[in-house]
Amino acid sequence: MPAQLRQLLFVLNPISGDIDKTALEATIAAYCTERGRTATFFHTNGHDDLARLRRHLQQPYDAAFAAGGDGTASLVAEAVSGTSVPLGIIPLGSGNGLSKDLGIPQNIEEALRLTWDYSLRTLDTLRVGGLFAAHLADIGFNALIVERFDQGDARGAAAYVRIATQEYSAYQPATYRIETDRETWAGEAFMLTIANANTFGSNVVINPQGQLDDGKFEICLIAPFPNTAAPGLLYRLYTSDFDASDYTKRLQCERASISVPGATEVLVQLDGEPHHLPNPVEVEIRPGSLRVLVPPTAAR
Ligand SMILES: Nc1ncnc2c1ncn2[C@@H]1O[C@H](COP(=O)(O)OP(=O)(O)OP(=O)(O)O)[C@@H](O)[C@H]1O
């Protein structure tokens, strides 16, 4: 039997996933009280959440749950990484990619079972340009879409697809030079994903067989492709067949330096949040730096 988690922190993001959360706090509190747990709530404001959360976590909690999407899960993951407090996730975002990769149920009541029925997994995390990421980061087309999405008012998958369709025809792929601890690659790319995990919240499998706990990450490259190749490429991305395309390549490593010749900064999305980082972008894996609660059936 795993140790009982009694003092639970729930980090609630009021805007994630465009989901009405007015009843959520009462639902979680009732669920925990019924099982002899104490639930405390922390509300994100989108401004100084990491610093406030770190201060709040000086109180002794047995677990910290992110109730939101990938950005909220990443926030809580960063706040607890390197400590003994495990991350739990109640998926309440638009994509919920990390929770899906971990086999966490997408239904709230089922995910709440993690408060008393769980296994612990220890995961690697990434440092990208000195910033934290737990799941996926990327440079190129998807980073641009994530930035446009972030600047707009609409949330949800439909808004993301609408922006991607608008931007696709005018998009100019950049040239990159990548030096890893194992090899050097240079060329044009439509996008490149720095992957600790496998699958985007959209269910695109960008890094088949990638492991969250192998001490390595993958750089998954998609080369520029003609419009006629787009349906076939998308099919491969949705059927875990990334490596079979003529337009893809994956580099596995522990450290990498990614540069865009001539640029002073590079637009990077980290766990769904856009950032402009200094060029070159230095990436490294931090093995075993995050403890997470997963359903016993999903533990390996
Ligand atoms: N109170 C708030 N008001 C406005 N924005 C907020 C607030 N709290 C958090 N945010 C913002 O919410 C974003 C994170 O949202 P999150 O990723 O959890 O949900 P999502 O984008 O809907 O889902 P997903 O990432 O799974 O697709 C961050 O940009 C954060 O700054």
The answer to whether residue 299 sits within a structural domain is no
Instruction: CATH number of the domain at 232, please.
Output: 2.60.200.40
The answer to whether residue 44 sits within a structural domain is yes
Which of residues 117, 142, 174 is at a domain's end?
Answer: 117
Residues 170, 277, single domain; the answer is yes
Residues 21, 85, single domain; the answer is yes
Give pairs for 162-169: CB < 8 Å, separation 24+. Answer: 167/141, 168/141
Nearest of 128, 44, 144, 147 to residue 92 by alpha carbon: 44
Residue 168 backbone dihedrals phi, psi, to 5 degrees: -55, -50
Query: Which of 10, 12, 16 best tests ligand 1's pocket when mutated (most atoms within 8 Å of CB)?
Result: 16
Residues 90, 205, single domain; the answer is no
Residues with a CB atom less than 6 Å from ligand 1: 13-17, 44-46, 68-72, 93-96, 155, 201, 272-273
Residues 113, 30, single domain; the answer is yes
Instruction: CATH number of the domain at 73, please.
Output: 3.40.50.10330
Mean pLDDT per 10-residue interval, the chain, length 300 residues: 89 88 93 96 97 96 96 97 96 92 95 96 97 98 94 80 90 97 98 96 92 97 96 94 95 98 97 96 98 88
Residues 266, 146, single domain; the answer is yes
The answer to whether residue 1 sits within a structural domain is no
Residue 229 sits in which domain range? 131-287
Query: Which atom number of ligand 1 is nearest to the Cα of residue 96?
Result: 26
Domain count, the chain: 2
H/E element, 227? none
Residues 103, 173, single domain; the answer is no
Nearest of 282, 218, 283 to residue 253 by alpha carbon: 218
The answer to whether residue 231 sits within a structural domain is yes
Are the C-beta atoms of residues 65 and 10 closer than 8 Å to each other? yes
- For residue 52, the Cα-to-chain-centroid distance in whole angstroms is 21
pLDDT at 1: 63
The answer to whether residue 32 sits within a structural domain is yes
Q: Can you give the pTM of this predicted structure? A: 0.94
Residues 90, 160, single domain; the answer is no
The answer to whether residue 296 sits within a structural domain is no
- Residue whose token pair is 């893809």: 248
CA of 66 to the centre of ligand 1 (A): 11
pLDDT at 124: 97
Which of residues 117, 141, 171 is at a domain's end?
Answer: 117
| CA–CA separation, 32 and 67 (whole Å) | 14
CA of 136 to the centre of ligand 1 (A): 16
Query: Which of 43, 47, 50, 72 best tests ligand 1's pocket when mutated (most atoms within 8 Å of CB)?
Result: 72
| CA–CA separation, 97 and 200 (whole Å) | 5
pLDDT at 291: 97
Nearest of 209, 195, 236, 16 to residue 98 by alpha carbon: 195
Nearest of 49, 256, 160, 196 to residue 266 by alpha carbon: 256
Residues 90, 174, single domain; the answer is no
CA of 124 to the centre of ligand 1 (A): 23
Query: Which atom number of ligand 1 is nearest to the Cα of residue 45?
Result: 1
CA of 68 to the centre of ligand 1 (A): 7
| CA–CA separation, 28 and 217 (whole Å) | 35
- Residue whose token pair is 């999407």: 69
Are the C-beta atoms of residues 204 and 153 closer than 8 Å to each other? no
pLDDT at 156: 72
Residues 156, 268, single domain; the answer is yes
The answer to whether residue 125 sits within a structural domain is no
Residues 61, 138, single domain; the answer is no
CA of 273 to the centre of ligand 1 (A): 9
Give me the residues paired with residue 10 across strands: 41, 65
Residues 149, 254, single domain; the answer is yes
Residue 286 backbone dihedrals phi, psi, to 5 degrees: -115, 95
Residues 180, 213, single domain; the answer is yes
Structure tokens given for 246? 């003529």
Which of residues 51, 85, 117 is at a domain's end?
Answer: 117
Burial code (b: 16+ CB inside 10 Å, e: under 16) for 128-164 equals bbebbbbbbbbbbbbbbbbbbbeeeeebeeebbebbb
The answer to whether residue 126 sits within a structural domain is no
Query: Which atom number of ligand 1 is nearest to the Cα of residue 17?
Result: 22
